[in-house]
Amino acid sequence: MSRMTRRTFIGTGSAALAAAASLRTMVSARAAGANEKLNVALIGCGGMGRYKLGNFCDSKQCNVVAVCDVDDKQMNEAVALVQAKLGTKPEKIKDFRKVLERKDVDAVIIATPDHWHAIPMILACQAGKDVYCEKPCCHNIREGQAMLAAAQKYNRVVQVGTHQRSMPHIQAAREFVQAGKLGLISMTNTYTYGNNYPTNLGNDPDGPVPEGVDYDTWLGPAPKRPFNRRRFHSTWRWYFDYGCGMVGDWNVHLQDIIMWSLGVQAPTAVSTSGGHLLLEDDRDTPDVMQAVYEFGPVPKLAPKGFVQTYTMRKTSGKPWSCGGYGMDLHGTNGYMHMERGVWRLEADREDWDKAAMGQDSPFRIEGFKKEAPGADGEAHLAHVLDFIQCVRTRKAPIANIESHYHSVVSCHLANVSLMVGRKIFWDHNRVLCFKDRELTQQDTEANNYLGREYRKGFELPKV
């Protein structure tokens, strides 16, 4: 297929609006029955895209009819995976719009880099397709608003890949908290550690675009830059042009469980410190970050609100793959810790000082440790199965975009606070930052970071 250029891409000009209107008139051509397999297509054939595609194949409920990527090599690897698992050969399509035009596609998997989530997701909803979108759903808050509006307006089932929600032990821990067994909660913590010192990404010079890559389309809405392998596959996430840093890439999983467990939608204030302090590469996302969130009252769990912190280091500590991550909740009855393979409780005393003096102060609850080996891999498949079931029933999936939007906004706000260098106050209803707790003085500088400037020809579709 010919290379997709900015001139041909759907933007917001007259031709773009006409194309979008055409897509909006389309409806899903198939209404798969309860026992009929769904036809799915993959947009974004990188590592996570292929992993997720494998889950859809393993569900035994799907046909894979097309794969799409701007990199021929990645598309070929996705085709090989489908052939190995299903014995079929999906069509290779380099322009995702051609995927959305196919009447036989019921749902699309969007596993592109973060800066390429919103445009195909919105157009997929307009084309009558259901969507499984990798996390974080959006590159910025304004995109998240548009994606949420598209899912609601076109009545689409949209699952986001925060698959920790599909882990039974995480669900059990959440139920424990919501039942009040942890007591009243005043503080929660999430953290991701690692040590990439000193050079990590390195400092390789710019180079030629790899053969078979449509690099201009890969850049899409992001600024035009020379090709550099450090800003390309996998490591793109450490540059704000394309990703959100660790707070959006990893903490979105953890933040989501904290907010889901406590039933909160948005912080009232965020203050972030840190930056690119030690690593000798040219990333512009931080290698050290400390974000402090303030949340308002939660009935029966946090009567006057609670504080949430996120701590990130890429300069010391275990990597996430060796246990350098976690979610903590501190209640009056005890301390709860959650990871993808375990949750445990350390019971607290009513008053430790009284106990030290020999006075009676019994434990309120028993401490325990409950392991869940293999939960991570199992949850990936369970998350996909939940999505498939919801496509059939039209019910909301466990990580629907309506819920995920709130978690991802909180992560983006940590970056906004870091960029402006001060505490920001958030009005969830107006989707605006303010300089004061009373929400009377809009923070113009912070609000400028709620969206982005889109490269001409790659603008966000109208909803």
Q: What is the CATH number of the domain that holds 156?
A: 3.40.50.720
Pair (318, 436) in one structural domain: yes
**pLDDT in the model for residue 261:** 98
Residue 385 to residues 373, 379, 390, 416, Cα–Cα distance (Å): 20, 10, 9, 35
DSSP bridge partners of 275: 288
How far is CA 57 from its chain centroid? 22
Q: Domain for residue 322, yes or no?
A: yes
Q: Domain for residue 461, yes or no?
A: no
**pLDDT in the model for residue 415:** 98
Q: Give the domain extent around 131.
A: 14-163+385-400
Q: Domain for residue 458, yes or no?
A: no
Q: In 52-77, which positions are buried (b, 16+ CB within 10 angstroms) versus exposed (e)?
A: bbbbbbebebbbbbbbbbbbbebbeb
Q: What is the CATH number of the domain that holds 412?
A: 3.30.360.10
**Quick one: which of 408, 386, 262 has its CA closest to 327?**
262
**pLDDT in the model for residue 74:** 98
Q: Domain for residue 3, yes or no?
A: no
Pair (132, 252) in one structural domain: no
DSSP bridge partners of 110: 43, 133
Pair (236, 114) in one structural domain: no
**pLDDT in the model for residue 354:** 61
Q: In angstroms, rounded to a whole number, what is the distance separating the alpha carbons of residues 380 and 54?
A: 10
Pair (152, 295) in one structural domain: no
**pLDDT in the model for residue 31:** 54
Pair (83, 149) in one structural domain: yes
How far is CA 336 from its chain centroid? 24
Q: Are residues 143 and 117 in contact, defined by beta-carbon separation less than 8 angstroms? A: yes
**Quick one: which of 363, 322, 359 has its CA closest to 345?**
363
Angle between helices 401-420 and 251-262 (to 10 degrees): 120
For residue 399, give both structure tokens. Answer: 């990580």
Pair (393, 423) in one structural domain: no
Pair (130, 249) in one structural domain: no
Q: Domain for residue 250, yes or no?
A: yes
- What's the length of the chain? 463
Which residues are CB-contacts of 8 (< 8 A; sequence separation ≥ 6)?
none
**Quick one: which of 127, 143, 157 has its CA closest to 399?**
157
Cβ neighbourhood burial of 228 (10 Å; 0-12, 13-18, 19+): middle
Q: Are residues 347 and 364 in contact, defined by beta-carbon separation less than 8 angstroms? A: yes
pTM (predicted TM-score): 0.93
DSSP state of 442: B
Per-residue pLDDT in tens (0 to 9) along the chain, 463 residues = 334 544 444 443 334 433 443 444 344 445 556 669 999 999 999 999 999 999 999 999 999 999 999 999 999 999 999 999 999 999 999 999 999 999 999 999 999 999 999 999 999 999 999 999 999 999 999 999 999 999 999 999 999 999 999 999 999 999 999 999 999 999 999 999 999 999 999 999 999 999 999 999 999 999 999 999 999 999 999 999 999 999 999 999 999 999 999 999 999 999 999 999 999 999 999 999 999 999 999 999 999 999 999 999 999 999 888 989 999 999 999 999 999 999 999 998 766 666 554 555 455 688 999 999 999 999 999 999 999 999 999 999 999 999 999 999 999 999 999 999 999 999 999 999 999 999 999 999 999 999 999 999 999 999 9
How far is CA 19 from its chain centroid? 28
Pair (213, 353) in one structural domain: yes
Domain count, the chain: 2
Pair (200, 250) in one structural domain: yes
Of the chain, the end-to-end C-alpha distance in Å amounts to 28
Q: Domain for residue 154, yes or no?
A: yes
Q: In angstroms, rounded to a whole number, what is the distance separating the alpha carbons of residues 20 and 15?
A: 9
Q: Domain for residue 367, yes or no?
A: yes
DSSP state of 213: B
Q: Are residues 176 and 420 in contact, defined by beta-carbon separation less than 8 angstroms? A: no
Pair (140, 248) in one structural domain: no
Q: Are residues 253 and 379 in contact, defined by beta-carbon separation less than 8 angstroms? A: no
Pair (178, 312) in one structural domain: yes
User: Token pair 């990404």 is at which residue?
Assistant: 201
Q: Domain for residue 462, yes or no?
A: no
Pair (348, 389) in one structural domain: no
Q: In angstroms, rounded to a whole number, what is the distance separating the alpha carbons of residues 342 and 123?
A: 39
Q: In angstroms, rounded to a whole number, what is the distance separating the alpha carbons of residues 157 and 159?
A: 7
